[in-house]
Structure formats: C-alpha cells, structure tokens
Structure 1
Amino acid sequence: MNDTVRRPWLWTTVFTIIAIAYIYPIVLVVINSFKGKVFIADDPFSLPNAETFVGFDNYVRGVELTDFFASFGWSLVITVGSAALILLCTSMTAWWIVRMDNRYAKTLYSTFLFNLLVPFQMVMFTLSWLADYLNLNNPFGLWIIYLGFGAGLAVFIFTGFVKSIPYEIEEAATIDGCGPIRTFFLVVVPMMKPAIITVGILQVMWLWNDYLLPYLTLDLKEYKTIPIAVQYLKGGYGSVDLGAMMGILVLAMIPVIVFYLFSQKHIIKGVVAGAVKG
C-alpha cells in the first residue's frame, strides 16, 4: 500500500503547518489593528489587553489620513472595469484561436504566451511615458493597460478550457440559426463558467493589490488606489503610523477575501479542466 494512503496524517500535518504560515501574517495584522501604534512597534506579537487596546481608533484615523473612501472607489472602478474587459476580450480571443486552428491563430497564441515571459521591469518606464502621451493616466485608461498585461495568463487558461468543449454543440447552434456572436454568448460562455470564475478570481486579486502599475501611470494628484494611499501614511524621516496602516490594511483585505471565499470552489475545477483537456 502506498505510504501516502497509510499515513494521511503526515500530509495533513504538513499542509496544516503551511496553511498556518500563510494565515498568520494576516492574523497578526488584524490583531495589531486594535492596538496603539506605540505598542505595535514595541511588541507586535502580543494580543491586545486593557492597556494596549484602542478599539476602532486606528481604523478611523486611517480612513481620515488616507481619504480611504475615495481610494476605495477608484480601486473598485479599476478592478471591476479591468477584470470585465480582460474576461470579455480574452475569452473571445481564446475561442477564436481554438476554433480557427490555423497558423495565424497559433502565432497569436504564441504571442500571448510570450507576454507571460516578459518581466514588467523591462517595459515600465516606456509604459509610463506612453500612458502620459496617450492620456491613459486615469482609471479608465488603466483598463486598457491592464488588459495588455493580464491577457497572457487569461488566454492560456481559456484556450485550454475551450478545447474541452465539444464542437458539435456549436454546430447544432449554427444549424438552429445562431451566428458567431450568439453562439459564443448563449452557448460557449455558459459552459466556460468555471474558467471564467477562475480567471476572474486571479485577475481581481492581482488588480486589487497592485501597487506599481497605478503608481507609474496614474495622475496621483487626482487618483489614488488603496495600495498607494497606504504609502502616504509614511511621515518625515521614514516614520510610519503603524496603527492607522494596520487598520487600512484590514479594510483593504476584506473585499478581496470575501470575493475569494464566495468563488474559491471554482478555482481547482477551472484550472484542472483548462490544463489537462485538449
């Protein structure tokens, strides 16, 4: 009998330890968000007590110092708009690549894969100049920029998934009078739901937490995302209001954690279906 079958407790213990290692930093941020900033620096690993507990003061101060609700609004606009554009464009592109299956489609697919290999650092300064030149230095222009950077992974996952969809279903829809657009949205998209949710989760987690791209492209006098707003909690000579920062970090984590918890059951299903079929 396989050792893994005979000793399941071993793997359970290993993965439990790994899970705790990942979750502990988040728990630490939550704990410190209820402690005074002086006590955070002195003893960051202790639980709040009668002396160190400050209630929601850190959250209130963080919201005031960072103009949190405005930053939250722009982060939401950028994340939702960019994710929707990526899902729409890349799912249609992947479908076309699989169904055409000619040298042009294969060349296009290879181009998207190449996009995954190019480090962002190689293009960030040129990108910053180009965004200013084309007036893309705003949240809506950032949708287009994110589409370019997010398309590689999305097309890769969607292409693998579309290969698992029987072509006969689309032929039947064509016989019933559906054109390419109706076939895609009424027949293909419902069957691509696991892949769409998977790509959506991955993109939302990336978009919501991204700091460097908005920092390089946005006009920071008018627009700030939450990661950029957190950076403004730094004072002179490198001083940081740790209490306010912990409170804002907790508020920033809540939306993406809730979104992930409601959608995470589809991740493995979508990734496996897109990776091993076709």
Structure 2
Amino acid sequence: MKRKQHLLIEILGILLGLLWLSPFYLMIVNSLKTKKEIFTDTLGLPQVWTFDNYTKAAQQLDFWHTFLNSVLITVVGVLFIVVFASMSAYALSRTKTKLSGVIFLVFVAAMLIPFQSVMIPLITLFGKVEMLNRVGIIVMYLGFGSSLSIFLYHGSLSSIPITLDEAAKIDGCNSFQTFWKIVFPILKPITVTVGILNTIWIWNDYLLPSLVINQEGKQTIPLKMFYFFGEYTKQWHLALAGLTLGIIPIIILYFFAQRQIIQGITQGSVK
C-alpha cells in the first residue's frame, strides 16, 4: 500500500514538474524558430534550428551594456538590503522593549502594503530627477526589500543564544564587532536566502525601473525587453531569445545556492 502511495506521489510530482517546466520549454523552443514558424507551430520543435534570433536580440538589446546595468543595480541593491536588514534585525532581536516590538511589527505589516499604493508619491519624488535614476531605484529597493529580509533575519537571530553576545563583550568586543565577527557569520544560510530572493526580485522587476529610469542607456534587461513589442508589431522570436538570455544568470545562481535557500527559509521561519 505504501509503495502505491509513493508511486502515486512520484507520478504527481513528475506531472507537476512538467507543468512547471512547460513555459521554459515554450520560451526556449520558440526562441529557436523563425517568426512565421512560431505562429504556425507553437508547441512543436523547430523545423530548422536557428540561433540568429539570439544574435539579433543581443544587438537590439545592447545586451552587454544593459546586462551591466542590471548587474550594478541588483548587486548594490542586494548588498544594501543584506547589510541594513541584518543589522536592523539584530538590533530589534537583542533589544527587548515594547518599542522594538512595535517597530518589528511595523516592518512585518509593511509587507502587506501593495506597491501600487505608493507608486505615485515615488514618481513624484524620484521620477523627474535624472541624476537619481540609479541611486533612487536602489534606495527604493532597499525600502521595499527590507521588510521581508528583516523578518527572515529576525527569525534566525532568535535561535542564536544571547550568551554568544555576552561572551564577546567580555572579550572586549563592542556591539558592532560582536555582530559582524560573531553573529553575522552564523547567519550565512539566511544571508544566502535573502540575497537570492532579492536578486531574483530585483533582476526580474519591470514596473519600478519603468517608472524611475528615464535615461537612455541606463535601462535594465526587463525594461529594454519592452522595445520588442511595438504598437503594430510584436517580435516574439527576438523577445523570447532575449528573455532566455536574461534568465540564464539567475538560473545558474539559483542552482548553485538552492541548498542554502531551503536551509535559510526553514531556519528563518522557525522562531
């Protein structure tokens, strides 16, 4: 009976896996077809495999320049989130007062605020200031990404005994040294999790860059992809090739860090 149950679960898992992979199949297969063949046979394999779409897409995207823009915003944004969220969570977890509890609840509640509700004030503040295109969007990512990151760090810090802090202080460490030299290295699994989750979010984000970045040559990959969809024509063959190029770095990063992600989420969700 148990074998039948395990077999049923495995079959269900395979079916769900295939369903999850189907969009990637459609994207990759159709990126290797001509524009005409995409509309005549969307699900089938290409009759003639062509990689010209990738060359044309890379040229129209100005891929390497756009790629570096995405890397710059993503790396700096994630670095800021990790540094400030980890320190904030440490201060909140080690300060047992009513005020610290209220501040933590405010951060948790902020996760429920939809971006659309604050979209117009953000554009009013940053959208028209050309010199703040990149600086402004990084500050915004820090604000929007801190709530979840602080929540995850706070959960992990609750499992670290405060006796470590006390021992470090006896040895002459101040609070800053205690955190960075003793506590932060222990938070490696949750740090990897926070980094990967925010990297995926920032790298794939379209709405916020479209509202803030208004200078030519500073667009990210998702923002640049918009130019494949004109008013009268849609270049699906080039768009799918560009999307494939854009997701490759994130997929590689995820495969290298998937174990730490699972470990970090499990650690951060248990208080």
* TM-score bracket for the superposition, by shorter chain length: over 0.9
Q: Tell me how far 1:58 sits from its aligned partner.
A: 0.2
What is the match of residue 127 of structure 2?
Answer: 132
Q: Tell me how far 1:20 sits from its aligned partner.
A: 1.3
Residues 127, 133 of structure 2: 8 Å contact kept: no
What is the match of residue 245 of structure 2?
Answer: 251
Q: Against the structure 1 CA distance between its residues 220 and 18, is the aligned structure 2 distance closer, same or farther, given a 3 Å change threshold? A: farther
Distance in 2 of aligned mates of 1:17 and 1:35: 26
What is the match of residue 154 of structure 1?
Answer: 149
1:96-175 superposed matches below 5 A: 96-132=91-127, 137-175=132-170
Amino acid in structure 2 at the alignment position of 1:248: G
Residues 37, 241 of structure 1: 8 Å contact kept: yes
What is the match of residue 13 of structure 1?
Answer: 11
Pair 1:209-2:213 in alignment: no
Pair 1:58-2:53 in alignment: yes
Residues 68, 229 of structure 1: 8 Å contact kept: no
Distance in 2 of aligned mates of 1:233 and 1:28: 18
Pair 1:179-2:160 in alignment: no
What is the match of residue 226 of structure 2?
Answer: 231
What is the match of residue 268 of structure 1?
Answer: 262
Q: Deviations over 1:237-257 (max 9, x none)?
A: 2x1111111111110010000
Unaligned runs of at least 5 residues, structure 1: none
Distance in 2 of aligned mates of 1:104 and 1:135: 38
Q: Tell me how far 1:82 sits from its aligned partner.
A: 0.3
Q: Deviations over 1:205-241 (max 9, x none)?
A: 100000000001112434211011111012342x111
Q: Tell me how far 1:276 sits from its aligned partner.
A: 1.6
For 2:84, which of 76, 79, 89 is the aligned residue?
A: 89
Q: Which shifted more, 78-87 or 128-137?
A: 128-137
Amino acid in structure 2 at the alignment position of 1:147: L
Distance in 1 of aligned mates of 2:167 and 2:220: 47
Q: Tell me how far 1:134 sits from its aligned partner.
A: 6.2
Q: Tell me how far 1:132 sits from its aligned partner.
A: 3.2
Pair 1:198-2:193 in alignment: yes
Amino acid in structure 1 at the alignment position of 2:45: L
Residues 77, 139 of structure 1: 8 Å contact kept: no
Residues 135, 141 of structure 1: 8 Å contact kept: no
Q: Tell me how far 1:177 sits from its aligned partner.
A: 1.0
- Which ranges of 4 or more aligned residues in structure 1 deviate by more than 6 Å? 3-6
Q: Against the structure 1 CA distance between its residues 119 and 136, is the aligned structure 2 distance closer, same or farther, given a 3 Å change threshold? A: farther
Distance in 2 of aligned mates of 1:101 and 1:134: 41
The alignment covers a number of residue pairs equal to 271
Residues 130, 215 of structure 2: 8 Å contact kept: no
Distance in 2 of aligned mates of 1:70 and 1:5: 54
Residues 33, 58 of structure 1: 8 Å contact kept: yes
Distance in 1 of aligned mates of 2:253 and 2:14: 23
Unaligned runs of at least 5 residues, structure 2: none
Amino acid in structure 2 at the alignment position of 1:30: I
Residues 210, 227 of structure 1: 8 Å contact kept: yes
Distance in 2 of aligned mates of 1:175 and 1:4: 56
Residues 192, 257 of structure 2: 8 Å contact kept: yes
Instruction: Tell me the SS of whatever aligns to 1:264.
Output: helix
